[in-house]
Chain A
Amino acid sequence: MSENLTLVTMGGDYAERYGFRDPEDFFVKAPKGLNHEVVEMISRLKKEPEWMRELRHKALDTFLAKPMPSWGNLDMLSRINFDEITYYLRSTEKQETSWDEVPENIKRTFDRLGIPEAERKFLAGVTAQYESEVVYHSVKEELTKQGVIFLDMDSGLREHEDLVREYFASVIPVADNKFSALNSAVWSGGSFIYIPPHTEVTIPLQAYFRINAENMGQFERTLIIADEGAKVHYIEGCTAPVYSTNSLHSAVVELIAKKGATIRYTTIQNWATNIYNLVTKRAVALEDARVEWVDGNIGSRLTMKYPAVVLKGERAHGEVLSIAFAGPGQHQDAGAKITHLAPHTTSQITSKSISKDGGRATYRGLVKVRKGAEGCKTSVQCDALLIGHGARTDTYPTMEIDEDDVRVEHEARVSKLGDEQLFYLRSRGLTDAQARLMIVNGFIEPFVRELPMEYAVELNRLIELEMEGSVG
């Protein structure tokens, strides 16, 4: 551990449990900063096909040409120094399928985070990404026999080039926004999943993302295709050491739910508070398909993330259920985007945010209904809870409805953790801290009950840490 790095003060025991760091031991590391040489180096290292190499270079041009977003937390965004970031870092020579083969220091990291144990207990498959590359990957044999493909994105491109070429950037075009262009230029790692028709993967697949190095950029790319009538639940988690300098995490996630398919994508984002988390996530749902984003944001300095569902086929259903916890110095700018293109499509957005002691949460949502998409239903509910002094919440719900035959429900509520609620609980013997935690846990309960049990326990524990040292 370098002595000259100061630990950023964080609530709870993040530094101890997740914030530990390993010596930066790399196999290949790109020089700092971003240019065509770095892009070329990444593509050559990965021995990619020509079309991908070209896509990366074009994407870099797009990234460089596009201005930074003109909305959101401009002050925080202006602090990202793209020249100081390392865009590619490979720590190991190759990917392993057995934890025993993973280099000792990295294995220790994932052991401390409980990943191998979780895999044994309740997962159908796991990828573990460390810096830019997936260092461990494993999937239950019976899934492979059913024709399920669960690979890291690089292997996906090598082994299933046709599928990747067909769908890569089909949901989120390279030029969608500045950060999708950045990801497209320097992407590395992430998951590639294909579920064959009428195949149900009943136990979750998980990916775990770890950034260890300082001033690092992680740009994983995930593509999930659920074929007709297929069903899958994918879960991702992430942590990083706590540094005083900033790192950047900018993922692109594309989901394709074909006719009658169901995809649930669950995220528990617990980055250290020096990470800028600028992520683009979008799904396309065809006829009778169902896509659910279950999105929990606890960590990071600034998160800007608006999981989207494009309801393209009749009767498709899209759902975004999210919670955000913004402590001191954090800004969670999160939301959802639903586009109703086909008749009788339905959507539901439930957003819950907690801002505490100077923390800031923003809900930014967009629901669009195109002309001709008759009989659609959409419901948006935003609840914000303010705790302590200087906490801030903003809600920007936008509706663009071009069709008359639509049912729209919208409800927004802001509440302050109330004196009367606290007094009631304290009059029953609960301490001030216990009472606050109970109120907050109750507030996020609609989210927590959607998580697999192990994740619910972990999330409640994270919230408990965040609530420590809470003052009136």
Chain B
Amino acid sequence: MSTNDTLIFACHDVHVTVGDREVVKGVDLAIRRGEIHAIMGPNGSGKSTLANALMGHPMLTLSGRVELAGEEIAELDPDEKARRGLFLAFQYPVAIPGVTVASFLRAAVSARRGAEVPVREFRKELVARMEQLEMNPSFAGRYLNEGFSGGEKKRLEILQLLMLQPRFALLDETDSGLDIDALKIVAQGINAAATAESGILLVTHYQRLLNYVKPHVVHVFMDGRIVRSGGPELALELEERGYDWLEPVAAAGGGR
């Protein structure tokens, strides 16, 4: 098997601009099937911008190549990317009043699978997944993210991850705003979604999620670039020493 066949997601020389400001300044990633990568970096380093741009946020301009399972997807609309199996768990999911979680999810699952999912089959699957995430069944009838607590929103993102079964998932700060019990449940959901065929990229500020979800590769992201990559031990080092000791490296790399 060649390298390309084993890669589920790759990007080459990705730059992202917001208006005329460059926020992501050349990122390369190669993630193999079955791998979990983590991007860690301080607030404002541009890691969330990268995740949103990869999904195709209309306000962000991305240049460079992005491949999902060997297919170029950089130019595609976000819904086309989603139907091909790209997923983004949002840091701040928006509310859609009047639309229930169940009807939204059924539409999303139907779009992803390319065929209308029968109601009964969908219900069964939804109930099972919600149990897995210890969610109250009444959740399905609530309006999408409306009046949800921070933790409930994050749990709903993971519920979507499990229902949609993407080939590659970007999880943007999924651990923020969670208490320890919720964090464990969310982590268990992420682990369930990590199959031998799929890939996951965790975008996070802290390493506490990494106590429960073990990444194969950790990238340190500063000022729009990956400044260092390593094994899981790199996350522990960051936890211990913070990001400051890496700063000179970023500057040496050609900084601002």
Task: Spell out A's residues near B (CB within 8 Å).
Answer: 418-432, 434-435, 438-439, 441-446
Q: Which of B56, B58, B97, B111 contacts A430, CB < 8 Å?
A: B111
Q: Please state if A427 and B93 are interface contacts (CB–CB under 8 Å).
A: no
Count chain B residues whose beta carbon lies closer than 8 angstroms to a beta carbon of A. Answer: 29
List residues of chain B with CB within 8 A of the CB of A428.
79, 82, 104, 107-108, 111-112, 160, 164
Complex Cα distance, B97 from A439, in Å, reads 8
Q: Which of A434, A438, A444, A446 contacts B96, CB < 8 Å?
A: A438
Q: Indicate if B19 sits at the interface (CB-CB under 8 A).
A: no
Q: Indicate if B99 sits at the interface (CB-CB under 8 A).
A: yes
The binding surface of chain A is classed by DSSP as: helix
Complex Cα distance, B172 from A231, in Å, reads 54
Q: How many interface contacts (CB-CB < 8 Å) are there between A and B? A: 80
Complex Cα distance, B172 from A424, in Å, reads 13
Interface centre among A423, A426, A429, A446 (most CB of B within 10 A): A429
Q: Please state if B79 and A431 are interface contacts (CB–CB under 8 Å).
A: yes
Q: Which of B55, B79, B94, B108 contacts A418, CB < 8 Å?
A: B94
List residues of chain A with CB within 8 A of the CB of B94.
418, 420-421, 424
Q: Please state if A429 and B96 are interface contacts (CB–CB under 8 Å).
A: no
Given A419-B59, A438-B104, A438-B107, A426:B98 Cβ within 8 A: no
- 11 example contacts (A-B, Cβ-Cβ < 8 A) are as follows A421-B94, A423-B56, A423-B78, A424-B90, A425-B96, A426-B82, A427-B55, A427-B56, A427-B78, A428-B79, A445-B99
**Minimum distance in angstroms from B73 CB to a CB of chain A:** 13
List residues of chain B with CB within 8 A of the CB of A434.
107, 111
Given A419-B58, A429-B111, A444:B98 Cβ within 8 A: yes
List residues of chain B with CB within 8 A of the CB of A435.
79
Q: Indicate if B88 sits at the interface (CB-CB under 8 A).
A: yes
Please give me the residue from chain A that is nearest to B145 by CB atom.
A424
Complex Cα distance, B77 from A424, in Å, reads 12
- Encode B75-118 as 1/0 by CB contact (under 8 A) with A: 00111011100011010011011110000100110011000000
Q: Please state if B98 and A446 are interface contacts (CB–CB under 8 Å).
A: yes
- Encode B152-169 as 1/0 by CB contact (under 8 A) with A: 000000001000100000
Q: Indicate if B12 sits at the interface (CB-CB under 8 A).
A: no
Q: Please state if A439 and B96 are interface contacts (CB–CB under 8 Å).
A: yes
**Minimum distance in angstroms from B183 CB to a CB of chain A:** 23
Q: Indicate if B57 sits at the interface (CB-CB under 8 A).
A: yes
List residues of chain A with CB within 8 A of the CB of B77.
426, 432
Q: Please state if B108 and A430 are interface contacts (CB–CB under 8 Å).
A: yes
The binding surface of chain B is classed by DSSP as: mixed
Q: Please state if B99 and A426 are interface contacts (CB–CB under 8 Å).
A: no
**Minimum distance in angstroms from B185 CB to a CB of chain A:** 21
Q: Which of A418, A423, A442, A445 contacts B57, CB < 8 Å?
A: A423
Q: Indicate if B143 sits at the interface (CB-CB under 8 A).
A: yes
Q: Which of A422, A431, A442 contacts B143, CB < 8 Å?
A: A442
Given A418-B94, A443-B98, A445-B99, A427:B82 Cβ within 8 A: yes
Given A424-B94, A429-B108, A438:B99 Cβ within 8 A: yes
**Minimum distance in angstroms from B84 CB to a CB of chain A:** 9
Given A419-B59, A438-B107, A442-B143, A430:B96 Cβ within 8 A: no
List residues of chain B with CB within 8 A of the CB of A425.
96, 104
Please give me the residue from chain A that is nearest to B103 by CB atom.
A438
Complex Cα distance, B145 from A439, in Å, reads 13
Q: List 12 additional A-B contacts (Cβ < 8 Å) besides A424-B96, A428-B160, A434-B107.
A: A426-B77, A427-B78, A428-B82, A428-B104, A428-B164, A429-B79, A429-B111, A431-B79, A438-B96, A442-B96, A442-B144, A444-B98
Complex Cα distance, B112 from A432, in Å, reads 15
Complex Cα distance, B143 from A434, in Å, reads 17
Q: Which of A419, A422, A429, A442 contacts B99, CB < 8 Å?
A: A442
Please give me the residue from chain B that is nearest to A428 by CB atom.
B108
The 8 A-B pairs of least Cβ separation, nearest first, read: A442-B98, A429-B111, A445-B98, A442-B99, A428-B108, A429-B82, A426-B79, A426-B78
- Encode B138-150 as 1/0 by CB contact (under 8 A) with A: 0000011000000
Complex Cα distance, B56 from A442, in Å, reads 24
List residues of chain B with CB within 8 A of the CB of A444.
98
Please give me the residue from chain B that is nearest to A442 by CB atom.
B98
Please give me the residue from chain B that is nearest to A422 by CB atom.
B58
Q: Please state if B107 and A430 are interface contacts (CB–CB under 8 Å).
A: yes
List residues of chain B with CB within 8 A of the CB of A423.
55-58, 78
Complex Cα distance, B97 from A418, in Å, reads 12
Q: Please state if A432 and B79 are interface contacts (CB–CB under 8 Å).
A: yes
Complex Cα distance, B87 from A446, in Å, reads 31
List residues of chain A with CB within 8 A of the CB of B56.
423, 426-427
Complex Cα distance, B88 from A430, in Å, reads 14
Q: Please state if B97 and A443 are interface contacts (CB–CB under 8 Å).
A: yes
Complex Cα distance, B81 from A443, in Å, reads 27
